[in-house]
Amino acid sequence: MGRILVVGSINQDLRAGVERLPGPGETVIGRSLDRSAGGKGANQAVAAAVAGAAVDMLGAVGDDDAGRGSVAAMAAHGVRVEHIAVVADEPTGTAIIQVDDGGENSIVVIPGANHAVSEADLGPVDGLTAGDILLLQLEIPLPVVAAAARRAAAAGARVVLNLAPFAPVDADVLAIADPLIVNEHEAAQLAAAGLDAPSVLTTLGARGATWADLYVPAEPVEVVDSTGAGDSFCGALAAALAAGADRQDAMRAATAAAGRTVGHLGAQPPAGG
């Protein structure tokens, strides 16, 4: 089984429960407020570890309680955290999330220490080998994402890139990704930007996912909170691929993981859950 190195974001999530999401200029009364560990990178690392993979996380947090809590949450799920830097002059990244009664959400991310991740931190990427996977997203500086992808490919590792939140990425980086994971909105943005990739996996929410000529449906589930479903998909997919699964079996595992995630509050499961 190959190793997985996740290079990406680590956040604290501040989540407000609301009856419905507010429109522009509108105020609604919230029903609840809670705080939990999050960030696309951290969420995907936890999902991969929960799926049984050997996972290392590379990222940055602030020297604050939020950062210490986020790192502890990852470690509690079995993620190795030795490559997480503590940044003295930036707070840990924060996501402000509104979740309505139907489980839909809207999210604002303040990067904080995530923007301190630099190419100088990418030494562990060079230690990857054939059979290993580098898992990336776009909540850290784009030049760092591109450099990590190129260095992992040069080392013989597989690169899985989640193009979220959407941003234009160099064509050679898109070509490296196997797969490039997008949701339907990101797929449309990719096409609108005139960009393409040879290996594109599109998640379809409750309808499942497609990867080239393959389609895997999702099982019906009760949605409590859709936050982190895409991240769980990415992490579980990477874990299955690292274990040698073919594309269809990897998609099935990923779709099932996403279904479990929408059944609980928060992007990451409780420790031991």
Say which CATH number the domain at 137 has: 3.40.1190.20
Q: How confident is the model at residue 70 (pLDDT cuts 50, 70, 90)?
A: very high
Determine the Cα angle at 145 with ends 111 and 7, to 5°.
70
Q: Which domain holds residue 222?
A: 3-10+38-84+114-261
Counting every residue written for the chain, the total comes to 273
What DSSP element (H or E) covers 172? helix 171-176
Per-residue pLDDT tens over the stretch 193-215: 999 999 999 999 889 999 999 99
Domain contains 66: yes
Asked whether residue 265 carries a pLDDT value surpassing 70, the answer given is no
Domain contains 93: no
Percent of the chain past pLDDT 70, that is, above it, reads 94
Domain contains 138: yes
Q: How confident is the model at residue 124 (pLDDT cuts 50, 70, 90)?
A: very high
* 41-70 average pLDDT score: 96
Are the CB atoms for 267 and 36 separated by under 8 Å?
Answer: yes
Distance CA 148, CA 28 (A): 42
- What pLDDT, on a 0 to 100 scale, did the predictor assign at position 271? 58
Domain contains 76: yes
Catalytic annotation present for 231: yes
Asked whether residue 36 carries a pLDDT value surpassing 90, the answer given is no
Domain contains 247: yes
Helical segments of 25-159, H only: 40-50, 65-76, 123-126, 142-154
Question: What contacts 35, CB < 8 A, 6 or more positions away?
Answer: 12, 13, 14, 15, 66
Which residue in 13, 100, 132, 231 is the catalytic one? Answer: 231
Question: What contacts 25, CB < 8 A, 6 or more positions away?
Answer: none
- What pLDDT, on a 0 to 100 scale, did the predictor assign at position 155? 97
Strands 30-38 vs 11-18: parallel, antiparallel or unpaired: antiparallel
Asked whether residue 273 carries a pLDDT value surpassing 60, the answer given is no
* 108-126 average pLDDT score: 96
- What pLDDT, on a 0 to 100 scale, did the predictor assign at position 259? 84
Domain contains 273: no
Asked whether residue 113 carries a pLDDT value surpassing 60, the answer given is yes
Asked whether residue 260 carries a pLDDT value surpassing 90, the answer given is no
* 252-266 average pLDDT score: 81
* 254-267 average pLDDT score: 77
Asked whether residue 268 carries a pLDDT value surpassing 80, the answer given is no
Asked whether residue 244 carries a pLDDT value surpassing 90, the answer given is yes
Phi, psi dihedral angles at 243 (to 5 degrees): -85, 0
Q: How far is CA 187 from CA 43, 166, 196, 201, 253, in A?
A: 21, 9, 9, 9, 22
For the chain, how many structural domains are there in total? 1
Please, what's the b/e burial string for 171-186 (b: 16 or more CB within 10 A of its CB; e: otherwise)?
Answer: eebbbbbbbbbbbeeb
Domain contains 253: yes
What DSSP element (H or E) covers 13? strand 11-18
- What pLDDT, on a 0 to 100 scale, did the predictor assign at position 224? 63
Q: How confident is the model at residue 107 (pLDDT cuts 50, 70, 90)?
A: confident
Calculate the average pLDDT of the chain: 92
* 19-34 average pLDDT score: 92
Domain contains 92: no
